[in-house]
Amino acid sequence: MKPLPEQRGEHPKKNTESSPGEMHSEEPKTAPGNLSAGKTTTSETEVPAQLNGLTLAHDVIDPTSQPQFDSRPPSPAPPPDAHPPRDQWGGKYEFLLSCIGYCVGLGNVWRFPYLCYRNGGGVFLIPYFIMLFFTGVPLFLMELSLGQYGAAGPITVWKCCPLLKGIGIGMLCVSTLVCLYYNVIIAWTFYYLGSSFQSPLPWSCSAISNAGLCGNGTALNGSSVKSHLSPTEVFWNERVLGVVHSKGLHDPGPVRWPLAICLLIAWVIIFLCMLKGIRSSGKVVYVTATFPYVVLIVLIIRGATLEGSLQGVAFYLTPDWERLASAQVWNDAASQIFYSLGIGVGGLLSMASYNKFDNNVIRDTLIITIGNCSTSFFAGFAIFSILGHMAWRKNVPVGKVADTGPGLAFVAYPEALALLPGSVFWSILFFLMLFMLGVDTLFGNMEGITTAVLDEFPQLRRNMKHKSLFLAALCFAFYLMGLLLITDGGIYWFTLIDSFSTSFGLIIITLFMCLGIAFFYGVNQFCQDIIDMICRCPPWCTKVLLYFKACWVFCTPFLLLFILTYIFIEMYNTSLHYGEYVFPRWGKALGVCMGATCCLQIPIWAIVAISKESGTLRDRFRKAIRPLNSWRVNNLNSEGAGERVEPERVEAPFTVNLTDMDFTAMTWENGTQA
């Protein structure tokens, strides 16, 4: 008789040799958890036999029995305790709005306009849209499709290619750094929100304490040092940050306890949102995803009526072509695409894993990415119209009217609100909008972390008490680490983490994800998986996939490699600074170590995956890129899954005795011997 194919661990056996560029795997024969549970004996009292670590059925090991591979009943469903049911979105619009709320966040309000302002205005739009269409949209679709098809978080989803499990670990590292400083922005917003209940606003010229700062010729001390500062800048630097009391990165100073209370409240809110799950949070996004547009329209209308607003808009749209030769511009464009769309941090993978199997990911990708980037461009007009007015009042160029970093939103926007009629009401409304945007986005980042951990340790998902304790410990740990960022010198540490967490490390992670799916898993197989998910795939979807296939194989990796090369060439020639403070060499080296820690997870876990295999190095590599048996069975979660479970097979080298009935019931190949 011809022996059955050899089975290696959890991996399905391929009939032909596979190449790194293609994925030749069989459809799995068992549902998750059935490798051991499904192989039962016909008698409860009989001890099941073991062969190569597998439990064999009685009718296989008994020489007098008939091997009924094709007539065996379907495998029983896995027990509920082994694989607890996975939540799903309450409706198709909940996922769409949740992704829009996750992507359209604080970055659209303060990061994108700030990067435009720092990189010469409108010239930044050129690399931004190039990176969007050739890297952002293809990678966004890749993450959504991978998470939805695998129905798993950023770590477990790499069952499709165990060699690349380090990509998921690296995503977790990036997400941890982002969550660490992102909630500090929410704490600043919460502080401004509380201060907005004062009348007049503490950063307006109507406040008595700001009488000497508003240029009325009634300066209290006649100081020329502060004559060029606005009340909003003084409020931001002195009362909120306290940066005037710190000498630099080496001198963080004491914790600012008003901010510590705001940070604690922010993490408590995040903890409560995470406990409610995706079903309840999907209802909240109906407000958080639409409310920001109302406030931005109001700010644009008000900004257009201010003197000098056209000067700011001209600075926003007029490109400085010489800036295109700077690696910083292209690096900022790539990092903003990843930062704004949430690529490479695991949030998209996790949210897509709760989708129904037949959700149209191509449609969602186009809606979310175009809507997100249009919002960033839209918010830029609100920012630069106010900057133009500030420049007109100070009689200085537009490029010198605001601080760097997030201070743009906390300097320019508060001044705009102080100029509006009923400024107290609009200030409360605006910072409430920022607070909701921040919480919504941070919820997606935290979802990436928790989903990854819960998928790796499913017992936490089954026990609500254990899940609550895990979330509480995670949020409290983030709170303790975040205290460093709300000291007098915390803005320096904030700038350091912000500059390197979404820089070269994130680009390397997404580069390996793109190459791994395109060449290890197989770009043709991946496109077929997308078509399988879109049951009624319209003709335009198939044509669009040709564009995405070209991007995944050629355009996206080429652009990412080009940016990486350009970044590494000029990395040590460009100084990192906040305002007039230039970061020391050791501080910049610390930031490089942060980015390197994230991307070094890829080779570390690749070595671990190869070391677990047997055979020559080439054989180990081939086995490490094959998907596990539990891959592709997650589509059984769709409707009618229980009827499509395939008969169970034992794939192991063993022999059986055949009877006459076997030869009359089966058609054998020529040369097969009993």
Q: Is the peptide bond before 252 cis (omega within 30 degrees of 0)?
A: no
For residues 493 and 484, is the Cβ–Cβ distance under 8 A? yes
Spell 499-535 as b/e; 16+ CB within 10 A means b.
Answer: bbbbbbbbbbbbbbbbbbbbbbbbbeebbebbeebbe
Of 326, 313, 481, 302, residue with least CA distance to 388: 313
Is 340 annotated among the ligand-binding residues?
A: yes
CA dist., res. 586 & res. 554, Å (int):
37
CA dist., res. 374 & res. 438, Å (int):
19
198 φ/ψ sector (left φ>0, alpha ψ -120 to 50, else beta): beta
Q: Please identify which residue in the block is written with the tokens 């109507």.
A: 206
Helix (H, G, I), strand (E, B) or coil at 10: coil
DSSP 358-421: T--HHHHHHHHHHHHHHHHHHHHHHHHHHHHHHHHHHTS-GGGSS-STTHHHHHHHHHHHHHST
Is 178 annotated among the ligand-binding residues?
A: no
CA dist., res. 59 & res. 125, Å (int):
68
For residues 448 and 171, is the Cβ–Cβ distance under 8 A? yes
Distance from the Cα of residue 621 to its chain's centroid: 28
Is 174 annotated among the ligand-binding residues?
A: no
For residues 348 and 140, is the Cβ–Cβ distance under 8 A? yes
DSSP 571-595: GGGS--EETTEEPPHHHHHHHHHHH
Helix (H, G, I), strand (E, B) or coil at 492: helix
Cα distances (Å, whole numbers) of residue 223 to 18, 217, 228, 450, 495: 75, 12, 10, 52, 30
Is 221 annotated among the ligand-binding residues?
A: no
- Tokens encoding 456: 């790796």
For residues 397 and 391, is the Cβ–Cβ distance under 8 A? yes
615 φ/ψ sector (left φ>0, alpha ψ -120 to 50, else beta): left
Q: Which residues, in sequence order, are CB contacts of 47 under 8 Å at separation 6+?
A: 41
End-to-end CA distance of the chain: 4
H, E, C per residue of 55-70:
EECHHHHCCCCCCCCC
Of 510, 509, 494, residue with least CA distance to 603: 509
DSSP 121-182: GGGGHHHHHHHIIIIIHHHHHHHHHHHHHHTS-TTGGGGG-GGGHHHHHHHHHHHHHHHHHH
Of 324, 344, 325, residue with least CA distance to 336: 344
Is 372 annotated among the ligand-binding residues?
A: yes
Question: How many CA atoms does the CB half-sphere of 245 hold within 13 Å?
Answer: 14
For residues 486 and 503, is the Cβ–Cβ distance under 8 A? no
Is 104 annotated among the ligand-binding residues?
A: yes
CA dist., res. 24 & res. 525, Å (int):
8
Is 331 annotated among the ligand-binding residues?
A: no
Strand partners, 54: 51
Residue ranges of alpha helices (H) inside 534-582 are: 539-550, 556-570
Binding residues for Na(+) are 101, 104, 108, 340, 372, 437, 440
Binding residues are 101, 104, 108, 340, 372, 437, 440
